[in-house]
Amino acid sequence: MDLQIKNTNYSNDAILLGFSDLKRLKTERPLVFERGKGIFIFDENGKDYIESVSCFYCVSLGFSEERLVEAATRQLKALPMYSSAIHRTVPAVMELTERLAALSPVKNPRIYFSTTGSEANDHLIKFMWYGNGFANEPERRKVISRHASYHGSTIATSALGGSQDLHQSFGIPMNFSIQVSHPSWPNSALPGEDEEAFTDRLATELDQAILEAGPETVGAMIAEPVSVSSGMFPPPGSYFPKITKVLRNYGIQLFIDEVVTGFGRSGYMWATEAMGIEPDCVTCAKGISGAYMPIAGIIMGQEFNRRLDLGNEAKGWFAHGATHHAHAVSAAVALEVLNIFEERDVLGHVRRMMPHWNKMLDGLLSHPLVRANRKFGLTGAIEVAYPGEERGGAAGGLKVGGLTKDIYEAGLAEGVIVRPLAGCFVMAPPLIITEPEIGELGRRVRAALDRVLAGVPAASRAAADNVT
């Protein structure tokens, strides 16, 4: 298909891409992808790659789902845009709200649609400040998060993210942010510590952090059920029950960030469901529209809503909104995603693929560069180290080491895209992946590991450490 976009006049000087080396952008053309089919994407030279990370853990139904294109087109033709605000909306937003409420991981929810996962988390904090103010608890503003987590790129969500380097380099105000340990089991366990002792220690640390901050100043804790971008460490089963108990003790709400894990990644609609977590509010994005259109959901529970209503009673309205929130085309696409989930039993498919996925991950353990793996639904982390070196550390955040960067580069040569992190690389393929495709993905990843082991590409190994 002719895209009718010719970028031969592309200016290296003008472009700024996220999470990229600005100097490299000036001298080297970035990787340019032109089209996609299922789990594959094709670059401008026609080379195919398996997108083992679904782009940013988001293209859950693959890159060529015609039904999503048609749903978007139908809405574009009927009414391409109308802001959902000032007591006005469109049918797709009303229907999506109803369908999502029926599937909600919190009881009797109220749902607000924003545009990105970052915005959803950011606005949830803003709404909490609003509600707590009107509930006579204006001092309950602080939010607890975990080191090495990722909750987005706005100013507030950067403060919740775990990267100290990022806090410092962007000068992020941290006056409402408290950070506690990430449950990177077993890597950050103390010598001799079993699962119970590990989660007891983390619950005690949380309790102490709350006491230190002043319990009456803490509004919420935000956590991903499993943080893929910090190395994908599924916490021991006792972690969430114990921290939930601590939070309840002080009237602190639990916000669960399902931006990555929601919409089937775990084999359930929500990871909270798969893991028995009891959140007060949940955010979601990415998979909600198969990532074809930007949309995110803030799903708020009863106590949270009671507080919003107090604000409304005092002010006569809820003074928050934005032009592209609950975008009509995004909502139409998200509705079609829900239809496809039902009609094609996407959750059942994920569960059927999980044993093949796990087998593929285990098959890689025999490779000399692979030290361990971690699994969660259709997601996997492969811990790597050069022979003779210590294994990768605990949750490392965004910083990428030399070996995983080499594996990423070798993966490109072998036609597979993985996400390199510190000490490991992660994969979270489109949920539609089939058994033969899992086999082919495993084959390409092993070829990439072989390529690195054989010393290719030596140059990038020497370049090592500084890339995010």
Ligand X SMILES: Cc1ncc(COP(=O)(O)O)c(C=O)c1O
What is the binding site for ligand X (CB under 6 A)?
Answer: 56, 116-118, 121, 150-153, 224, 229, 257, 259-260, 285
Paired strand residues for 143 = 177, 220
Question: Among 166, 285, 165, 145, which residue's Cα sits nearest to residue 227?
Answer: 145
Please state whether the peptide bond connecting residue 457 to the residue before it is cis, i.e. omega within 30 degrees of 0. Answer: yes
Secondary structure (3-state) at 67 = helix
Chain position carrying tokens 């700024």: 16
Minimum distance from CB of 311 to ligand X (Å)? 25
**Main-chain phi, psi angles of 27, to 5 degrees:** -110, -20
Cβ-based nearer residue to ligand X, 152 or 377: 152
Minimum distance from CB of 31 to ligand X (Å)? 19
Instruction: Determine how many CB atoms are found less than 10 A away from the CB of residue 102.
Output: 9
Cβ-based nearer residue to ligand X, 152 or 429: 152
Question: Among 248, 221, 193, 260, which residue's Cα sits nearest to residue 57?
Answer: 260
Minimum distance from CB of 403 to ligand X (Å)? 23
Cβ-based nearer residue to ligand X, 256 or 369: 256
Cβ-based nearer residue to ligand X, 128 or 360: 128
Minimum distance from CB of 162 to ligand X (Å)? 11
Minimum distance from CB of 157 to ligand X (Å)? 7
Instruction: Tell me the residue type at 403.
Output: L
**H/E segment holding residue 100:** helix 91-102
Residue nearest ligand X by beta-carbon distance: 117
Minimum distance from CB of 330 to ligand X (Å)? 12
Secondary structure (3-state) at 142 = strand
Tokens found for residue 443: 């084959």
Minimum distance from CB of 120 to ligand X (Å)? 7
Cβ-based nearer residue to ligand X, 188 or 229: 229
Cβ-based nearer residue to ligand X, 257 or 409: 257
What is the C-alpha separation between 284 and 295, in angstroms, rounded?
Answer: 9
Minimum distance from CB of 158 to ligand X (Å)? 11
Minimum distance from CB of 37 to ligand X (Å)? 24
Buried/exposed 244-264: b ≥16 CB within 10 Å, e otherwise: bebbeeeebbbbbbbbbbbbb
Cβ-based nearer residue to ligand X, 298 or 410: 298
Instruction: Tell me the residue type at 428.
Output: A
Q: Does residue 202 contact residue 239 with C-beta atoms inside 8 Å?
A: yes
**Sign of torsion over alpha carbons 240, 245, 246, 249:** positive
Cβ-based nearer residue to ligand X, 287 or 415: 287
Instruction: Tell me the residue type at 113.
Output: F
Cβ-based nearer residue to ligand X, 71 or 259: 259
Paired strand residues for 298 = 112, 283
Tokens found for residue 294: 């930007």
What is the C-alpha separation between 334 and 326, in angstroms, rounded?
Answer: 10
Cβ-based nearer residue to ligand X, 257 or 280: 257
Minimum distance from CB of 38 to ligand X (Å)? 22
Cβ-based nearer residue to ligand X, 399 or 446: 399
Buried/exposed 174-213: b ≥16 CB within 10 Å, e otherwise: eebbbbbbbbbbebbbeeeeeeeebbeebbeebbebbeee
Minimum distance from CB of 115 to ligand X (Å)? 8
Q: Say if residue 101 is exposed, middle or buried (CB neighbours under 10 Å; 0-12, 13-18, 19+).
A: middle
Cβ-based nearer residue to ligand X, 109 or 294: 294
Dihedral through CA 92, CA 98, CA 99, CA 104, nearest 10? Answer: 130
Minimum distance from CB of 117 to ligand X (Å)? 2
CA 121 to chain centre: 12
Tokens found for residue 233: 């460490």
Q: Does residue 186 contact residue 222 with C-beta atoms inside 8 Å?
A: no
Chain position carrying tokens 């942010």: 177
